[in-house]
Amino acid sequence: MRMIAKLLILVIVAAIAFSGIYWLMNNNPSRQEVIHAGDLVISDGTYLIDNSKFILTGNLIVNGTGKLLVENSEMVFRQSYNQQYTFRTQDNAVVEMHNVKLNAEGKWFNLNYYDNSIVTLDKVEGVGCCSPWHSSMGNVRFTINDSVIGLTINNNVSVVAEGSSLFLELVLTNVSGEFMLPKGYAESFRLDVPNAGNSLMVLDVKKSTFTDWGATLDMYSDVTFVDSSMTIGMNAGSDWTNPNSVVKISNLRTKTYENYSLAYDTNNLTLVNTFVRDWYPQAWNNATVEISDSDLADVQFSGATATVIVRNSNAAIAIARDHVTYMFYNSTIKQDAIANENSRIYLYNTKVNGAMLENDDGEIFIDGKRLG
Protein backbone atom coordinates (compact mmCIF):
# COMPACT_ATOMS: atom_id res chain seq x y z
CA MET A 1 0.00 0.00 0.00
CA ARG A 2 2.83 2.41 0.86
CA MET A 3 4.47 1.77 -2.51
CA ILE A 4 1.15 2.37 -4.28
CA ALA A 5 0.66 5.56 -2.27
CA LYS A 6 4.15 6.77 -3.19
CA LEU A 7 3.48 6.04 -6.86
CA LEU A 8 0.20 7.93 -6.66
CA ILE A 9 1.97 10.89 -5.09
CA LEU A 10 4.62 10.83 -7.83
CA VAL A 11 1.93 10.71 -10.51
CA ILE A 12 0.05 13.61 -8.93
CA VAL A 13 3.23 15.68 -8.58
CA ALA A 14 4.17 14.94 -12.21
CA ALA A 15 0.68 15.88 -13.36
CA ILE A 16 0.84 19.16 -11.43
CA ALA A 17 4.29 19.89 -12.87
CA PHE A 18 3.11 19.14 -16.40
CA SER A 19 0.04 21.34 -15.90
CA GLY A 20 2.30 24.13 -14.73
CA ILE A 21 4.51 23.77 -17.82
CA TYR A 22 1.45 23.68 -20.07
CA TRP A 23 0.07 26.83 -18.40
CA LEU A 24 3.40 28.63 -18.82
CA MET A 25 3.64 27.64 -22.49
CA ASN A 26 0.15 28.83 -23.30
CA ASN A 27 -0.09 31.91 -21.15
CA ASN A 28 3.50 33.22 -21.24
CA PRO A 29 3.26 35.39 -18.12
CA SER A 30 6.73 36.76 -18.86
CA ARG A 31 5.43 38.48 -21.98
CA GLN A 32 4.90 42.19 -21.60
CA GLU A 33 1.45 43.41 -22.61
CA VAL A 34 1.68 46.34 -25.00
CA ILE A 35 -1.42 48.22 -26.15
CA HIS A 36 -1.21 50.43 -29.22
CA ALA A 37 -4.32 52.57 -29.67
CA GLY A 38 -4.86 53.96 -33.16
CA ASP A 39 -3.10 53.30 -36.45
CA LEU A 40 0.48 52.06 -36.59
CA VAL A 41 2.36 53.18 -39.72
CA ILE A 42 5.90 51.93 -40.45
CA SER A 43 7.44 53.74 -43.44
CA ASP A 44 11.18 53.26 -42.80
CA GLY A 45 13.45 51.51 -40.38
CA THR A 46 12.54 48.40 -38.36
CA TYR A 47 9.69 48.22 -35.88
CA LEU A 48 10.37 45.36 -33.44
CA ILE A 49 7.77 43.48 -31.42
CA ASP A 50 9.61 41.02 -29.19
CA ASN A 51 8.39 38.74 -26.42
CA SER A 52 5.16 40.71 -26.09
CA LYS A 53 1.42 40.42 -26.18
CA PHE A 54 0.90 43.27 -28.60
CA ILE A 55 -2.70 44.53 -28.73
CA LEU A 56 -3.55 46.80 -31.65
CA THR A 57 -6.77 48.80 -31.94
CA GLY A 58 -6.33 50.36 -35.37
CA ASN A 59 -4.84 49.74 -38.80
CA LEU A 60 -1.29 48.47 -39.26
CA ILE A 61 0.42 49.82 -42.39
CA VAL A 62 3.96 48.90 -43.49
CA ASN A 63 5.02 50.87 -46.57
CA GLY A 64 8.01 52.52 -48.23
CA THR A 65 11.09 50.72 -46.97
CA GLY A 66 9.61 49.94 -43.56
CA LYS A 67 10.11 46.58 -41.86
CA LEU A 68 7.95 44.86 -39.24
CA LEU A 69 9.81 42.25 -37.20
CA VAL A 70 7.80 40.18 -34.72
CA GLU A 71 9.45 37.53 -32.54
CA ASN A 72 8.15 35.25 -29.79
CA SER A 73 4.96 37.23 -29.44
CA GLU A 74 1.20 37.26 -29.72
CA MET A 75 -0.40 39.90 -31.92
CA VAL A 76 -3.99 40.72 -31.00
CA PHE A 77 -6.05 42.67 -33.55
CA ARG A 78 -8.81 44.19 -31.43
CA GLN A 79 -11.93 45.38 -33.25
CA SER A 80 -15.43 46.43 -32.28
CA TYR A 81 -16.85 44.65 -35.31
CA ASN A 82 -15.76 42.42 -38.22
CA GLN A 83 -13.26 43.96 -40.69
CA GLN A 84 -13.16 47.28 -38.83
CA TYR A 85 -9.40 47.57 -39.35
CA THR A 86 -6.81 46.09 -41.67
CA PHE A 87 -3.15 45.08 -41.84
CA ARG A 88 -1.55 46.23 -45.10
CA THR A 89 1.93 46.16 -46.60
CA GLN A 90 2.88 47.92 -49.84
CA ASP A 91 5.79 49.40 -51.81
CA ASN A 92 8.97 47.55 -50.74
CA ALA A 93 7.86 46.64 -47.23
CA VAL A 94 9.33 43.69 -45.34
CA VAL A 95 7.49 41.56 -42.76
CA GLU A 96 9.17 38.88 -40.67
CA MET A 97 7.35 36.85 -38.04
CA HIS A 98 9.04 34.15 -35.96
CA ASN A 99 7.15 32.11 -33.37
CA VAL A 100 4.07 34.31 -33.49
CA LYS A 101 0.43 33.77 -32.56
CA LEU A 102 -2.10 35.91 -34.47
CA ASN A 103 -5.39 36.55 -32.70
CA ALA A 104 -8.39 38.43 -34.13
CA GLU A 105 -10.51 37.54 -31.09
CA GLY A 106 -13.11 35.71 -33.15
CA LYS A 107 -13.74 38.53 -35.65
CA TRP A 108 -13.02 38.67 -39.38
CA PHE A 109 -9.67 40.37 -40.05
CA ASN A 110 -7.31 40.30 -43.04
CA LEU A 111 -3.56 40.74 -43.37
CA ASN A 112 -3.07 42.17 -46.88
CA TYR A 113 0.29 42.19 -48.68
CA TYR A 114 0.76 44.24 -51.87
CA ASP A 115 3.35 45.43 -54.40
CA ASN A 116 6.91 44.17 -53.79
CA SER A 117 6.49 43.12 -50.17
CA ILE A 118 8.74 40.37 -48.85
CA VAL A 119 7.11 38.21 -46.19
CA THR A 120 8.59 35.55 -43.91
CA LEU A 121 6.22 33.53 -41.74
CA ASP A 122 8.11 31.12 -39.48
CA LYS A 123 6.15 29.20 -36.83
CA VAL A 124 3.14 31.47 -37.29
CA GLU A 125 -0.45 30.47 -36.66
CA GLY A 126 -3.79 32.04 -35.92
CA VAL A 127 -6.89 30.56 -34.35
CA GLY A 128 -7.97 27.33 -36.00
CA CYS A 129 -7.12 27.04 -39.66
CA CYS A 130 -7.44 30.53 -40.94
CA SER A 131 -8.26 33.36 -38.61
CA PRO A 132 -7.01 35.91 -39.39
CA TRP A 133 -6.79 35.45 -43.16
CA HIS A 134 -3.78 36.46 -45.28
CA SER A 135 -4.21 37.97 -48.76
CA SER A 136 -1.72 39.08 -51.41
CA MET A 137 -1.38 40.57 -54.87
CA GLY A 138 1.37 42.13 -56.93
CA ASN A 139 4.92 40.87 -56.78
CA VAL A 140 4.82 39.62 -53.18
CA ARG A 141 7.31 36.92 -52.13
CA PHE A 142 6.44 34.53 -49.27
CA THR A 143 8.66 32.16 -47.32
CA ILE A 144 6.52 30.03 -44.98
CA ASN A 145 7.89 27.46 -42.53
CA ASP A 146 6.21 25.36 -39.83
CA SER A 147 3.11 27.56 -39.95
CA VAL A 148 -0.67 27.27 -40.18
CA ILE A 149 -1.84 29.75 -42.80
CA GLY A 150 -4.86 30.64 -44.94
CA LEU A 151 -3.67 32.71 -47.90
CA THR A 152 -5.07 34.27 -51.08
CA ILE A 153 -2.53 34.70 -53.89
CA ASN A 154 -2.97 36.83 -57.00
CA ASN A 155 -0.97 38.15 -59.98
CA ASN A 156 2.67 37.01 -59.81
CA VAL A 157 2.85 36.22 -56.11
CA SER A 158 5.26 33.41 -55.23
CA VAL A 159 5.04 31.11 -52.22
CA VAL A 160 7.80 28.83 -50.95
CA ALA A 161 6.52 26.73 -48.04
CA GLU A 162 7.73 23.78 -46.00
CA GLY A 163 6.41 21.85 -43.02
CA SER A 164 3.20 23.85 -42.94
CA SER A 165 -0.58 23.50 -42.97
CA LEU A 166 -2.05 25.52 -45.84
CA PHE A 167 -5.42 26.73 -47.10
CA LEU A 168 -4.60 28.44 -50.40
CA GLU A 169 -6.92 30.47 -52.61
CA LEU A 170 -5.86 31.19 -56.20
CA VAL A 171 -7.11 34.30 -58.03
CA LEU A 172 -7.08 33.50 -61.75
CA THR A 173 -7.08 36.17 -64.47
CA ASN A 174 -6.92 35.18 -68.15
CA VAL A 175 -6.06 31.61 -67.19
CA SER A 176 -6.97 28.48 -69.13
CA GLY A 177 -6.25 24.96 -68.03
CA GLU A 178 -7.10 21.91 -65.98
CA PHE A 179 -6.07 21.60 -62.34
CA MET A 180 -6.10 18.75 -59.83
CA LEU A 181 -5.40 20.22 -56.40
CA PRO A 182 -3.86 17.90 -53.78
CA LYS A 183 -5.66 16.98 -50.58
CA GLY A 184 -3.90 16.30 -47.30
CA TYR A 185 -0.17 15.74 -46.96
CA ALA A 186 2.14 16.20 -49.93
CA GLU A 187 5.85 15.50 -49.93
CA SER A 188 6.29 17.96 -52.77
CA PHE A 189 3.95 20.07 -54.92
CA ARG A 190 4.77 22.77 -57.44
CA LEU A 191 2.34 24.85 -59.45
CA ASP A 192 3.30 27.50 -62.02
CA VAL A 193 0.33 29.44 -63.37
CA PRO A 194 0.71 32.06 -66.13
CA ASN A 195 -1.68 34.63 -64.71
CA ALA A 196 -2.98 38.06 -65.73
CA GLY A 197 -1.02 38.30 -68.97
CA ASN A 198 2.67 38.63 -68.16
CA SER A 199 2.49 37.43 -64.56
CA LEU A 200 3.52 34.03 -63.20
CA MET A 201 2.00 32.70 -59.98
CA VAL A 202 4.31 30.16 -58.33
CA LEU A 203 3.72 27.65 -55.52
CA ASP A 204 6.67 25.56 -54.33
CA VAL A 205 5.53 23.48 -51.35
CA LYS A 206 7.35 20.67 -49.53
CA LYS A 207 6.43 18.34 -46.68
CA SER A 208 3.16 20.19 -46.02
CA THR A 209 -0.54 19.52 -45.60
CA PHE A 210 -3.18 21.13 -47.78
CA THR A 211 -6.23 21.57 -45.56
CA ASP A 212 -8.36 23.27 -48.22
CA TRP A 213 -8.29 25.16 -51.49
CA GLY A 214 -10.14 28.07 -53.03
CA ALA A 215 -10.20 29.68 -56.46
CA THR A 216 -11.58 32.97 -57.73
CA LEU A 217 -12.11 33.30 -61.47
CA ASP A 218 -11.49 37.00 -61.98
CA MET A 219 -11.96 37.50 -65.72
CA TYR A 220 -11.45 35.76 -69.06
CA SER A 221 -10.60 32.46 -67.40
CA ASP A 222 -11.64 29.01 -68.65
CA VAL A 223 -10.73 26.54 -65.93
CA THR A 224 -11.50 22.92 -65.09
CA PHE A 225 -10.97 21.44 -61.62
CA VAL A 226 -10.72 17.65 -61.37
CA ASP A 227 -10.80 15.47 -58.23
CA SER A 228 -10.47 18.51 -55.98
CA SER A 229 -12.11 20.00 -52.88
CA MET A 230 -12.50 23.75 -52.59
CA THR A 231 -14.46 26.98 -52.29
CA ILE A 232 -15.14 28.89 -55.50
CA GLY A 233 -15.54 32.58 -56.26
CA MET A 234 -16.30 34.30 -59.56
CA ASN A 235 -16.17 37.96 -60.52
CA ALA A 236 -18.50 39.90 -62.81
CA GLY A 237 -17.41 43.32 -64.06
CA SER A 238 -13.67 42.84 -63.62
CA ASP A 239 -13.08 44.05 -67.16
CA TRP A 240 -13.26 47.81 -66.58
CA THR A 241 -13.74 48.47 -70.30
CA ASN A 242 -17.02 46.53 -70.21
CA PRO A 243 -19.27 47.84 -67.39
CA ASN A 244 -22.89 46.97 -66.55
CA SER A 245 -22.56 43.18 -66.79
CA VAL A 246 -25.64 41.16 -65.76
CA VAL A 247 -25.35 37.62 -64.38
CA LYS A 248 -28.08 35.31 -63.05
CA ILE A 249 -27.17 32.03 -61.35
CA SER A 250 -28.85 29.50 -59.06
CA ASN A 251 -28.34 26.23 -57.22
CA LEU A 252 -24.74 26.81 -56.19
CA ARG A 253 -24.68 24.21 -53.45
CA THR A 254 -22.37 22.52 -50.97
CA LYS A 255 -21.88 19.20 -52.73
CA THR A 256 -19.74 17.11 -55.05
CA TYR A 257 -20.15 18.00 -58.71
CA GLU A 258 -19.58 15.02 -60.98
CA ASN A 259 -19.62 16.98 -64.24
CA TYR A 260 -20.79 20.59 -64.10
CA SER A 261 -20.21 23.70 -66.21
CA LEU A 262 -21.02 27.32 -65.43
CA ALA A 263 -20.59 30.55 -67.39
CA TYR A 264 -20.21 33.67 -65.26
CA ASP A 265 -19.67 36.95 -67.11
CA THR A 266 -16.33 36.46 -68.94
CA ASN A 267 -15.43 33.26 -67.05
CA ASN A 268 -16.13 29.59 -67.71
CA LEU A 269 -15.89 26.97 -64.97
CA THR A 270 -16.02 23.17 -65.23
CA LEU A 271 -16.02 20.82 -62.25
CA VAL A 272 -15.29 17.09 -62.53
CA ASN A 273 -15.68 14.98 -59.39
CA THR A 274 -15.00 18.08 -57.32
CA PHE A 275 -16.47 19.01 -53.94
CA VAL A 276 -17.42 22.66 -53.41
CA ARG A 277 -17.84 23.70 -49.79
CA ASP A 278 -19.36 27.09 -50.60
CA TRP A 279 -19.45 29.81 -53.23
CA TYR A 280 -18.74 33.55 -53.31
CA PRO A 281 -20.02 35.28 -56.45
CA GLN A 282 -18.80 38.89 -56.65
CA ALA A 283 -19.56 41.99 -58.72
CA TRP A 284 -17.70 45.13 -59.83
CA ASN A 285 -17.97 48.08 -62.18
CA ASN A 286 -21.74 48.60 -62.02
CA ALA A 287 -22.41 44.89 -62.63
CA THR A 288 -25.58 43.21 -61.37
CA VAL A 289 -25.44 39.66 -60.06
CA GLU A 290 -28.57 37.77 -59.01
CA ILE A 291 -28.14 34.55 -57.02
CA SER A 292 -30.82 32.15 -55.83
CA ASP A 293 -31.06 28.88 -53.91
CA SER A 294 -27.37 28.81 -53.06
CA ASP A 295 -24.87 28.14 -50.24
CA LEU A 296 -22.63 31.21 -50.03
CA ALA A 297 -19.46 32.01 -48.13
CA ASP A 298 -18.69 35.64 -47.30
CA VAL A 299 -20.55 38.22 -49.38
CA GLN A 300 -18.11 41.08 -48.91
CA PHE A 301 -15.69 41.66 -51.78
CA SER A 302 -17.75 43.48 -54.39
CA GLY A 303 -17.26 47.12 -55.30
CA ALA A 304 -17.64 50.09 -57.63
CA THR A 305 -21.43 50.64 -57.59
CA ALA A 306 -22.25 46.97 -58.23
CA THR A 307 -25.49 45.30 -57.14
CA VAL A 308 -25.74 41.80 -55.65
CA ILE A 309 -29.21 40.26 -55.25
CA VAL A 310 -29.53 37.12 -53.12
CA ARG A 311 -32.72 35.03 -52.94
CA ASN A 312 -33.56 31.95 -50.86
CA SER A 313 -29.95 31.38 -49.87
CA ASN A 314 -27.54 31.15 -46.93
CA ALA A 315 -24.52 33.44 -46.53
CA ALA A 316 -21.78 33.42 -43.91
CA ILE A 317 -21.57 37.22 -43.61
CA ALA A 318 -22.50 40.34 -45.59
CA ILE A 319 -20.18 43.36 -45.62
CA ALA A 320 -20.83 46.09 -48.20
CA ARG A 321 -18.53 48.97 -49.14
CA ASP A 322 -17.65 51.28 -52.02
CA HIS A 323 -21.22 52.28 -53.05
CA VAL A 324 -22.31 48.64 -53.43
CA THR A 325 -25.95 47.57 -53.03
CA TYR A 326 -26.90 44.21 -51.53
CA MET A 327 -30.48 42.93 -51.60
CA PHE A 328 -31.36 39.79 -49.63
CA TYR A 329 -34.75 38.09 -49.98
CA ASN A 330 -35.96 35.13 -47.87
CA SER A 331 -32.40 34.30 -46.84
CA THR A 332 -30.20 33.79 -43.79
CA ILE A 333 -26.98 35.65 -42.96
CA LYS A 334 -25.19 33.54 -40.36
CA GLN A 335 -23.07 36.34 -38.91
CA ASP A 336 -23.10 40.14 -39.38
CA ALA A 337 -24.59 42.51 -41.92
CA ILE A 338 -22.39 45.63 -42.14
CA ALA A 339 -22.88 48.58 -44.50
CA ASN A 340 -19.78 50.77 -44.99
CA GLU A 341 -18.80 53.70 -47.25
CA ASN A 342 -22.09 54.81 -48.81
CA SER A 343 -23.22 51.24 -49.45
CA ARG A 344 -26.73 49.93 -48.86
CA ILE A 345 -28.03 46.58 -47.65
CA TYR A 346 -31.72 45.78 -48.10
CA LEU A 347 -33.09 42.85 -46.10
CA TYR A 348 -36.49 41.38 -46.97
CA ASN A 349 -37.74 38.52 -44.80
CA THR A 350 -34.09 37.77 -44.06
CA LYS A 351 -32.64 36.59 -40.75
CA VAL A 352 -29.32 38.05 -39.55
CA ASN A 353 -27.80 35.99 -36.73
CA GLY A 354 -25.07 38.54 -35.92
CA ALA A 355 -24.92 42.31 -35.59
CA MET A 356 -26.29 44.87 -38.04
CA LEU A 357 -24.07 47.94 -38.32
CA GLU A 358 -23.98 51.14 -40.39
CA ASN A 359 -20.62 52.92 -40.82
CA ASP A 360 -19.37 55.87 -42.91
CA ASP A 361 -22.77 56.72 -44.41
CA GLY A 362 -23.67 53.09 -45.07
CA GLU A 363 -27.36 52.22 -44.69
CA ILE A 364 -29.35 49.09 -43.83
CA PHE A 365 -33.06 48.68 -44.52
CA ILE A 366 -35.18 45.93 -42.99
CA ASP A 367 -38.37 45.17 -44.89
CA GLY A 368 -38.36 48.69 -46.26
CA LYS A 369 -37.56 50.50 -42.98
CA ARG A 370 -34.22 52.08 -42.16
CA LEU A 371 -32.29 50.42 -39.34
CA GLY A 372 -32.46 52.51 -36.17
CB contact set of 6 (below 8 Å; sequence gap of 6+): none
Instruction: In whole angstroms, give the CA distance from residue 225 to residue 267.
Output: 14
| Per-residue model confidence (pLDDT) at position 16 | 37
- With helix as H, strand as E and coil as C, how does 289-315 read? EEEECCEEEEECCCCCCCEEEEECCEE
Q: Is 263 domain-assigned?
A: no
| Per-residue model confidence (pLDDT) at position 29 | 61
Residue-number span of the structural domain to which 24 is assigned: 1-30
Pair 151, 201: CB distance under 8 Å: no
Residue 241 pLDDT greater than 90, yes or no: yes
pTM (predicted TM-score): 0.89
Q: Is 12 domain-assigned?
A: yes
21, exposed or middle or buried, with CB in 10 Å at 0-12, 13-18, 19+? Answer: exposed
Q: Is 105 domain-assigned?
A: no
Q: Is 22 domain-assigned?
A: yes
Q: Is 5 domain-assigned?
A: yes
Q: Is 6 domain-assigned?
A: yes
The tally of domains found in the chain comes to 1
Residue 8 pLDDT greater than 70, yes or no: no
Note the pLDDT tens digit of each residue in 297-335. Answer: 999 999 999 999 999 999 999 999 999 999 999 999 999
Q: Is 16 domain-assigned?
A: yes
Q: Is 246 domain-assigned?
A: no
